[in-house]
Amino acid sequence: MQFATAGLDEEVLRGLAAHYAAQVPASTSSAPSTPVPSASASSQDAPDGATIVREGISSKGVPACDSCHGDTGRNPLFPRLAGQPESYLVAQLKQLHEGGRGGTAYAHLMETIAGRLSDEEIAAAAAWYASR
């Protein structure tokens, strides 16, 4: 959130914090009841794509993909991933994982995040987004 809040004064930040703290969580009843399985993921220990996308992997310091790339409240500086071809998403995440992909001034954020993902986790997240 640092880039989004840069330049905001203390009063505005306190107002934003109070606003978001007062929000009631949205219902998840419209979410699919079962996650879309990833044909590419092979490890029983790896989270499924829906979990990675919606919740992240807290034990690895990986935030929810949708927190930046989802449809609701998405930052226009970050691309929408739903519907992209699975092979494209896997290739991009692997390049980011290896530090070999350029991008915007925020590419370093994804290099850090992708660097924490296993091949199975990359495949699972890519498969989930491709199915949307």
Class of domain 47-132: mainly alpha
Q: Average pLDDT for residues 22-28, to the nearest whole number?
A: 68
Whole-model pTM over 0.85: no
Percent of the chain with pLDDT over 70: 79
Q: Note the pLDDT of residue 38.
A: 42
Convert the pLDDT of each residue in 63-107 to its tens digit. Answer: 999 888 887 656 777 888 999 999 999 999 999 999 878 777 788
Whole-angstrom Cα distance, residue 75 to residue 80?
Answer: 9
Domain layout of the chain by residue ranges: 47-132
Mean residue pLDDT of the chain comes to 80
Q: Give CA angle at 91 (61, 95), nearest 5°.
A: 60
DSSP structure class, residue 77: T
Q: Which residues contact 123 (CB under 8 A, 6 or more apart)?
A: 38, 40, 41, 90
Coil/strand/helix, residue 117: coil
